[in-house]
Amino acid sequence: MKPVEWLGNKLKIIDQTQLPGKVVFVELRDHTEVVAAIKELKVRGAPAIGVAAAYGIALGAQDIKAQNKAEFLSQLDKILQTFAAARPTAVNLFRAIDRMKKAATAADFTTIKQSLIDEAKLIHAEEEAATERLSRLGARLIKDGFTVLTHCNTGPLATAGYGTALGVIKAAKEQGKKIEAIVTETRPLLQGARLTAWELMQENIPTTLITDSMAGYFLSRGKVNCVIVGADRIAANGDTANKIGTYTLAVLAKENGIPFYVAAPTSTIDLSVSSGEQIPIEERNPEEVTSIGGIRLAPKGVTAANPAFDITPHQYITAIITEKGIVRKPYMSSLKKSLSVEPI
């Protein structure tokens, strides 16, 4: 089952908002439908957002009707801008936009249109390869018999590939290790309860779902060997933006002497921001907090806040697992030295 699939003239995705109740595939026929799918979290997770956006831009370019190259590029630029406004935190989106812009160099439109499709396919193939490799590298950190706590959703759905944090758990199991997972539900949109629990059950990995507020209990009772999460953007100093609640888990892990790992492809590292303070945090509709699954729980008129991500300062992160190697402190120099590769 492919969460994101290019069909030549349209993009097919699983509508993640309907999981796990219904497995619904939707076909997106123009770039505006892809932008809407990203905004509405039908397709979500940093690498998957980048892949979907790349295909969406390629799709948008096919529909451009221009008299000359300058006009073509100006229309392409408008399409790029609509994607850039879709979600602010995951840097994979901006990396994909940048790559697609740079791929539009040929003299004639027909060639540009084809090179944009080729570039999108390349971005997808690279994310598939990177997430598989980082998962196999990261699996070395997981010992036989480990119970791993993870947050949000970081499997094939979130990556259009093998997975990041969830990929590491899968790869450890594939290596023959006995692994159990503890999954936080990840309020407000329940990516953990809905998507991670579903993906882990498909992999036959014993899984226990907990509410976000139970994490301290489990981390303090010796029930967790390590915490692994994904990332939406990693700053040059190692500060990491990830789903809201990640920072809390990192502090709790440190307090209880439990390793805290971040797993992400290098496409999620943004060396242009020196620290987490510069990473934009998406503020989403407060109704996602006052309601669950469309059912209002909080009193009408109450003020609610809904930051979708938080920043985990680098000092709480034991290691960053990438496809180019496992990086440890000091992150500023390790990440800049373009990551020393550890052979498999």
Q: Which residues sit at the interface with ligand MRU, rule CB under 6 A? A: 41, 44-47, 90, 152, 154, 158-159, 164, 191, 230-232, 242-243, 308
* Closest chain position to ligand MRU (CB): 230
Half-sphere exposure of 339 (CA within 13 A, CB side): 22
User: Collapsing DSSP states into helix, strand and coil, what is residue 234?
Assistant: strand
Between 44 and 124, CB nearer to ligand MRU: 44
| Nearest distance from C-beta of residue 155 to ligand MRU, angstroms | 8
| Nearest distance from C-beta of residue 161 to ligand MRU, angstroms | 9
| Nearest distance from C-beta of residue 241 to ligand MRU, angstroms | 8
Between 28 and 262, CB nearer to ligand MRU: 262
The secondary structure of 124-156, three-state, reads HHHHHHHHHHHHHHHHHHCCCCCEEEECCCCCH
- Residues 290, 15, 160, 147: is their CA dihedral positive or negative? positive
Q: What is the DSSP letter of 196?
A: I
Helix or strand (DSSP H, E) at 318: none
| Nearest distance from C-beta of residue 158 to ligand MRU, angstroms | 4
The secondary structure of 13-79, three-state, reads EECHHHCCCCCCEEEECCHHHHHHHHHCCCCCCHHHHHHHHHHHHHHHHHCCCCCCHHHHHHHHHHH
| Nearest distance from C-beta of residue 69 to ligand MRU, angstroms | 35
User: Collapsing DSSP states into helix, strand and coil, what is residue 165?
Assistant: helix
Between 64 and 308, CB nearer to ligand MRU: 308
232 is catalytic: yes
Between 190 and 224, CB nearer to ligand MRU: 190
Q: Which residues contact 139 (CB under 8 A, 6 or more apart)?
A: 168, 171, 172, 174, 175, 177
Helix or strand (DSSP H, E) at 243: strand 240-243
Between 1 and 70, CB nearer to ligand MRU: 1
Q: Which of 30, 118, 144, 232 is catalytic?
A: 232
User: Which residues are catalytic, by number?
Assistant: 232
